[in-house]
Amino acid sequence: MERNTTIVVALAVVVTCSCIGGYVMLSPYTNPYTNSDITNNSTNANGTPYYLSEINTIEKPDDFKLVVRELQSGYIDVCDLNENYYLQPDFYEDSWQIGKRYYDEHDYSRWVVYGHGAYPANPHIVFKTDKVDEWIRFCTFYRTGWGTETYQGLKLVPSYSDYFDVKIEPDMFLLSPTFPVIKKDWVHKLNITVRIKQSPPKGTYTIPVMAQVPPMEQSREWFWEVFKRDISPEQYYMLEECKRQQEEGGMNLECEEWVQTGRRNKYVTTGNIQVGPRLTITIDVV
């Protein structure tokens, strides 16, 4: 966490984060994973669960348990933590204990399409001044929900405030799936700066942050990017042909059907479903 020189800041990191699971949607389309495929009860040659096969290539720090414990106390600056900590599922403690059911007892009749949220989800900052242009900077993490099977493109937009500007970096990114394997880029660290733009009266303020649909051009870029992953050379040729047709103004029926399948099964824009803010910033001015 950073602050400018005239502010005394308290960042009470509230980590009573609810389990961020996906919104489980019963899909009328064929789920490519079945009980007869490699399931998440399977293990790799080294005896680790299949769903952790990518994460286990990331070295877990020796002080991992100590840092996770102290995080609950609020004495750890989240900005100081690197991906060796926050990409580990058990970094999210209670949430992971609940989320493991998506792997140990997976329901293959359902397709988890959406699932995302912040951790800590309710950061709390304190200004001891009302001077314009004073600012506080802190961090949080934004991650895919447990058992989510799609790539999710999103843009984070803070609600308007009369007194504060909120800048989130990055504010637009792509979240990777967490099923059947938890991908390495399933979590993004966010740097958040809150600046006083108009002197606020003393009191408590909340700024909800909503996940919205990214711009069309960015969504299109991400769609083709993820569609290229894990496909055969023949499928890649078909993909390039469909992309060429789209750029020229239209696709044939085969391409249309293929692309629609890709949209359902690989890439979604998170703003299409809203269930309230995934991140809420509380500000005290004292």
State pLDDT tens for residues 90-149: 999 889 999 998 888 888 777 788 899 999 999 999 999 999 999 999 999 999 999 998
pTM of this prediction? Answer: 0.80
- pLDDT tens for 168-191 read 999 999 999 999 899 989 999 999
Q: Which residues of 225-241 are buried (b: 16+ CB within 10 A; e: fewer)?
A: ebbeeeeeeeeeeebee
Residues with Cβ < 8 Å from 133, sequence gap 6 or more? 195, 196, 197
What is the DSSP-derived secondary structure letter of residue 146? B
- Residue 124's pLDDT is 94
Say if residue 228's pLDDT is above 80: no
Say if residue 273's pLDDT is above 60: yes
Average pLDDT, the chain: 81
Which of the pair, 25 or 57, is modelled with greater confidence? 57
What span, in angstroms and rounded, lies between the C-alpha atoms of 163 and 159?
12
What tokens appear for 236 in the block? 């890649």
What span, in angstroms and rounded, lies between the C-alpha atoms of 181 and 235?
22
What span, in angstroms and rounded, lies between the C-alpha atoms of 40 and 58?
19
123 beta partners: 13
Domain made up of 2-215+272-285: CATH architecture: Sandwich (2.60)
Collapsed DSSP state (helix, strand, coil) of residue 24: strand
